[in-house]
Amino acid sequence: MKKSGILNRHLSGALAHLGHTDLVVVCDAGLPIPQGPAVVDLAFRAGVPSFAEVLTGLLDELEVEGAVAASEVREANPDCAALLTGRLPGLELVPHEEFKALTGRARLVVRTGESKPYANVALRCGVPF
């Protein structure tokens, strides 16, 4: 049995399938998820687990070379905007409609229980060398 890192077997297994340039979307409970990407739904109750908690766990395990979020996050959810810009230098901001379209190109979507608006980010996988 794993004793550290991501213990959820579905999420851990999905992460092991990712490769360079694959997109992983970490989203709040309200983001519409299109048909196509694999989905690991971690939502339990409103706010649980939080977007910040899940993002932190993923960033501990993934090599990320780029990230995209909706520009609306700056005004609608300043705490999330601060988290994203603090953890993801070079974060690209696009209109929310463009972000939703990007979600359809993701290899994996990780849905959190977050109930604050625009708590979404697309992470582009890098390589550790």
Q: Is 96 annotated as a binding residue?
A: yes
Q: Is 10 a catalytic residue?
A: no
Q: Is 118 annotated as a binding residue?
A: yes
Q: Is 8 annotated as a binding residue?
A: no
Rounded alpha-carbon distances, angstroms, from residue 23 to 68, 69, 80, 115:
10, 12, 20, 22
| 8 A C-beta contact, residue 65 and residue 123 | no
Cis amide bond preceding 49, omega within 30: yes
Catalytic one among 13, 20, 75, 105? 20
Q: Is 28 annotated as a binding residue?
A: yes
List the catalytic residues: 20
Point out the annotated binding site for substrate.
Answer: 28, 96, 118-120
